[in-house]
Amino acid sequence: MKQIWEFKGKHSFLSNFFEVEFIMDGEVCLSGEHAFQAAKTLDFKEREHILLSTTPGISKRRGRSVELRSDWECIKVPIMAKVLHTKFKLPEMERKLISTGDALLVEGNAWGDAFWGFDLKRGFGQNMLGRLLMMLRKSKRNESYAERYKKIADSNWFKKIYEGHSLGEIIDIE
């Protein structure tokens, strides 16, 4: 099985520090890190301060000093899933994610993050970011297959050849 152990170089797009603009909850985010850090607080001014950061690193530093919302520990994983879902809705980002195939995605790092990633120095980690990315990739791949099947089923040539039958019946998926 192919493995991607760090989100650098040609795989940097998997990192939350990859700069790509998207809109989440009506707010412009310059990276996944911006979106995630801003979600830590319910204070509008603190959120705005984070979102206006010029780099993902600055947004992370600013996110460390906000007053955390009371439910943060309960919702941080679903929030990250939402950030990733929103970021990878962008067609080019979706294509890149799907292009990783079945590779194991591991956010290997040397800064000690054993929750979102895998601490390469100590040799352990939950790799939550990598897990969420693999789940998202799988759901996007399934969506792509479903869209392709729908296009086939709606095509004129299919209707002429298999009149009265559904694509699901023909390929035995219904």
Q: Evaluate whether residue 157 is within a structural domain.
A: no
Q: Evaluate whether residue 140 is within a structural domain.
A: yes
37 burial class (0-12, 13-18, 19+ CB within 10 angstroms)? buried
Structural domain span for residue 82:
3-145
Token reading at 136: 């998202």
The number of distinct structural domains making up the chain is 1
Q: Kindly report the CATH number assigned to the domain that includes residue 68.
A: 1.10.357.40
pLDDT of 158 above 90: no
Q: Evaluate whether residue 166 is within a structural domain.
A: no
Token reading at 7: 């989100």
Tens digit of pLDDT for each residue in 100-151? 999 999 999 999 999 999 999 999 999 999 999 999 999 998 876 667 666 6
Q: Evaluate whether residue 79 is within a structural domain.
A: yes
Q: Evaluate whether residue 170 is within a structural domain.
A: no
